[in-house]
Amino acid sequence: MKDLLDEDSLKYKYFIENCEKIAKNYGYSYIETPSLEETALFKRSVGESSDIVNKEMYQFLDKGGNDVCLRPEGTAGIVRAFVQNKFDKAGVAKRYFYHGPMFRYERPQKGRLRCFHQFGVESFGQKNVTEDATVIAMLAQIFAYFGIDTTLKLNSLGCSECMPKYKEGLLEYLQELSHALCEDCNNRIATNPIRVLDCKNQSCQNLLKDAPKITQNLCAECDEDFKRLQKLLDVANISYEIDTNLVRGLDYYNKSAFEFVSDKIGAQSSIAGGGRYDKLVEYLDGKATYGVGFAIGVERLLDLIETPKSTREGYMLVSSSKEGIQKLFVKAQALRLESQAILEYSPKNLKNALKLADKNSALYLLYIGDDELAQDKIWMKNLSTKDESLIDF
Ligand SMILES: [Zn+2]
Ligand SMILES: [Zn+2]
């Protein structure tokens, strides 16, 4: 785990604040859910067989004997909140953005943190594929805003009608190949065959080249939606690659799946991912509700982000005497109603006062020396224009 401070915290704030601004432009509002949830929630939503649930959960019994867990991701808690507030029964559409710490008990390794941050959005109640195109457009806008080069990968995972049929065909194909595939692949053939497509092993990938593709086995509705999504991205000038190996391990994901990758932080590293999850709300005991969303891993991006050069702002207040400092304490409180004001507590001469103002990037120095104290005045200097003046207290 790592502290966020100084340069890192500035970058973090800068990133989150601009993501928020963009998400608000799309009609999203902020949701905050607890960092701690019942373990059962994640077992059901993230999936009992996933690595996250098997090995990486920050899970413990609290003093009341409840089996709880620090959230490994954001979606499950938000779906729980959506259902708990009965929005599913009311059939209302909701659009939320969230950000905050997520926790995974990973083996310590470079670039992996046990406490990391995500920014994400979840949209509930929209069946129209325009919503999928819109959340993708939002992500593209976020990366463009920060000048991060990305490649968008796109796939369709079909629906409960076409996916199972596709899976059957794929399974037949894989079983004939199984002797040549790696051990991981063989495990997945038994548990979750479409995850075989995801294998990082190049020799497996070579064997899988001629495997049946989901995009060629979609039902009429899924096919139409997938084509419509591509059309919408085309007209919005968002480029993409179809990647039929982009799959998810869980049944409640359907139709659009997407991922933004970047070469700037290692070869083709994923920096954001998302898609449609029309079955998740039902899966977590709610009334069936359409859903689509994405999540961005923040830490990996911070190295790629340049914060704007900090400009001078606010006031530095310094005096040569205790009496002057006491007067400036009152002045600082008045200024703080509108601007930044930093008060120095020990007496300083003018030369050191100017240095302090510089160090704190203040736009104005307010100084009370002995003369100013006697006259009940403040000497003010604009450190940008270098204008000086004597003002009334
Ligand atoms: Zn379908
Ligand atoms: Zn493999």
DSSP per residue over 315-348, as a string? EEEEESSHHHHHHHHHHHHHHTTTS-EEE--S--
Distance 384 CA to ligand 2 centre (A): 62
> Which residues have CB atoms below 5 A from the ion given as ligand 2?
182, 185, 199, 201, 204
Q: What is the pLDDT of residue 99?
A: 98
Distance 254 CA to ligand 1 centre (A): 8
Describe the strand order of the beta sheet including 36-38 as a list of residue ranges. 36-38, 67-70, 58-61
- Pairing relation of β-strands 315-319 and 341-343? parallel
Which value, in Å, is the radius of gyration of the alpha carbons in the chain?
28
pLDDT tens sequence across 233-287: 999 999 999 999 999 877 789 999 999 999 887 766 889 999 999 999 999 999 9
Distance 202 CA to ligand 2 centre (A): 8
Phi-psi region of 186 (alpha: psi -120 to 50; beta: other; left: phi over 0): alpha
Residue 392 — pLDDT band, cuts 50, 70, 90? Answer: very high
Q: What is the mean pLDDT of residues 153-182?
A: 94
pLDDT tens sequence across 126-135: 999 999 999 9
Distance 211 CA to ligand 1 centre (A): 19
Nearest Cα residue to 173 out of 136, 231, 214: 214
Distance 249 CA to ligand 2 centre (A): 15
Distance 294 CA to ligand 1 centre (A): 21
**Structural contact between residues 294 and 190, judged by C-beta atoms closer than 8 angstroms:** no
pLDDT tens sequence across 296-324: 999 989 888 988 877 899 999 999 999 99
- Amino acid, res. 30: Y
Cβ-based neighbours of 4, under 8 Å, separated by 6 or more: 12
Tokens of 390: 């004597």
**Structural contact between residues 81 and 41, judged by C-beta atoms closer than 8 angstroms:** no
DSSP 72: S
Residue carrying the six token digits 């200097």: 381
Residue carrying the six token digits 């869980």: 250
